[in-house]
Amino acid sequence: MPEIYEYLKTQESVETSIEIKKVWYTSDFAQVRKTVEKNARVKQLGILIHIPADVTGGLPLTYSCDSTGSSVSIDRRISDEMVDELKNSKTGTLFFPVREEDRQSLLLATYVEISDEITGYIFIYTYLEPTGTTTQILKSIFLMSSTVLIFFSLIVSFFISNRVARPIVNISRSANKLINGEFNMQPRKNEYYEIKMLKDNLNMASTEIARVETLRKDLLANVSHDLRTPLTMIKAYTEMIRDLSGDSPEKRSKHLQVIIDETDRLTLLVSDILNLSKLQSGMIDMDMKLINFSSHLREIVSRFSMLEQTEVNLEMQDDIYINADSKQLGQAVYNLIINAINYSGEDMVTVRLHTIKGGKVRFEVADSGIGIPKEQLPYIWERYYKVDRSENYKRAVKGTGLGLSIVKGVFERHGFNYGVDSEVGKGSTFWFECPQVKIKNVGAEVSD
């Protein structure tokens, strides 16, 4: 505390000397006296100014004003040695420590110089130590203030650290749960925006990971089931041929047909898995050509003409041309029709192809089956998803359960818009839209 007080009083003396010099250069002596009196009174200083006789042209002029409360006048503190030392100084300002009345004091000495001639001296006296009572009061106030501030800082620090650190710790624990396979995270409120965003993102990741994990388990279970069932059938009927029907052409032929059908089912499953994997990894090259989609669609629909239970009705405009990979697009269209037949039962399936506004082509496959609940629509393109009230991932009614996933991959690689419109109890309409290619010469060479 004394060091701070000493520094402040020293700076105060220097600033006062500069202020007096400024007035000295620009005003008369009366204005200088007013400046001395004001600074001495306000700052509790002892100030003496002295103008030598050679400057006044007569008697020397001295004026002093002391507000320090000292019993010793300021002129008695100034000696001829101080004046001589001041004249010889390079800076024009000196500080002389003074010890009196058991208190440390300071005397600042400087001169006013005009045209390389000293026109006056300024002496400023001040105490460098506050009185004992003042010191104790300031120390007590400082101690009390410091204690209160430290206590308050601890409370604020604890509150902030609790608000910031605890949510981060909770997020860290939740992340550890994700690593260990626990995907249930409890949302919390009253958190900072950034932490809330991090928590929300982690919750979303947890939900998605849980969904993907469920899908992965069901996918493995379904693939295992689809592989095991035909293999079991093949083994069983092979044993039947060996043990029972080997000598009966009629029974042997029937049992061999079952083996062939189950082998085809296995081939289809493996083929769909490979196709889906290639589509998702981008390994299948696109062979984009101008095709007569009307002709291509008519050939695909004709494959279903032998169905006994379900009728496939084709409503189509002729000579509609598009740019597409005919093989991949044909597979997607075929899968959509098969999907509609699976869910239509004995009802009719309608296939439509027509042009719409904006120079586009719209393809639709409509069935009158069970329909799809609105909340399940985003998931029907996933592997092995079955439209079911329980909202669980299950194997499709027929086929491999990968058909719509392959359709999605084909359409996205072509850049087509696609979707499904459905109403529970009335059926579903799967569709896609793509740009139409108009050609002048209908007989031009195109791929069907």
Interatomic CA distance for residues 207 and 209, integer angstroms: 6
Question: 3-class DSSP state for residue 274?
Answer: helix
Residue 282: count of CB within 10 angstroms of its CB: 10
Confidence of residue 324 (pLDDT cuts 50, 70, 90): very high
Interatomic CA distance for residues 50 and 74, integer angstroms: 12
Residue 438 has pLDDT above 70, yes or no: yes
Biggest alpha carbon–alpha carbon distance for the chain? 157
Return the structure tokens found at 153: 């800082």
- Percent of the chain exceeding pLDDT 70 equals 76
| Mean pLDDT of the 263-286 span | 70
pLDDT at 136: 59
Query: What pLDDT, in 10s, does the model give residues 141-173?
Result: 788 888 889 998 888 888 777 776 777 777 777
Residue 282 has pLDDT above 90, yes or no: no
Query: What pLDDT, in 10s, does the model give residues 390-433?
Result: 444 343 445 556 778 888 888 988 899 999 999 888 889 999 99
Q: Helices 249-281 and 403-414: crossing angle, nearest 10°?
A: 40
Backbone angles phi, psi at 181, to 5 degrees: 90, 10
Query: Which residues lie below 8 Å from residue 247, measured CB to CB, with a gap of 6+?
Result: none
Interatomic CA distance for residues 183 and 202, integer angstroms: 10
| Cα distances (angstroms) measured from residue 252 to each of 229, 256, 260 | 21, 6, 12
| Mean pLDDT of the 123-151 span | 77
What dihedral do alpha carbons 85, 90, 91, 92 form, nearest 10°?
A: 50
Return the structure tokens found at 315: 């409503």
45 in Cβ contact with 123 (< 8 Å): no
Interatomic CA distance for residues 67 and 44, integer angstroms: 5
Q: Is 323 exposed, middle or buried (0-12, 13-18, 19+ CB in 10 A)?
A: middle
407 in Cβ contact with 431 (< 8 Å): no
Is the Cα torsion angle 183, 186, 189, 195 positive or negative in sign?
negative
| Mean pLDDT of the 122-149 span | 76
Query: Which residues lie below 8 Å from residue 319, measured CB to CB, with a gap of 6+?
Result: 292, 294, 442
Return the structure tokens found at 229: 């069932």
190 in Cβ contact with 218 (< 8 Å): no
Backbone angles phi, psi at 77, to 5 degrees: -90, -10
Backbone angles phi, psi at 358, to 5 degrees: 85, 15
Return the structure tokens found at 313: 């009705």
Q: Show the domains of the chain with their CATH numbers.
A: 2-130 (3.30.450.20), 289-435 (3.30.565.10)
Output Rg (C-alpha) for the chain, integer angstroms: 50
Interatomic CA distance for residues 140 and 1, integer angstroms: 11
Residue 139 has pLDDT above 50, yes or no: yes
Residue 386 has pLDDT above 50, yes or no: yes
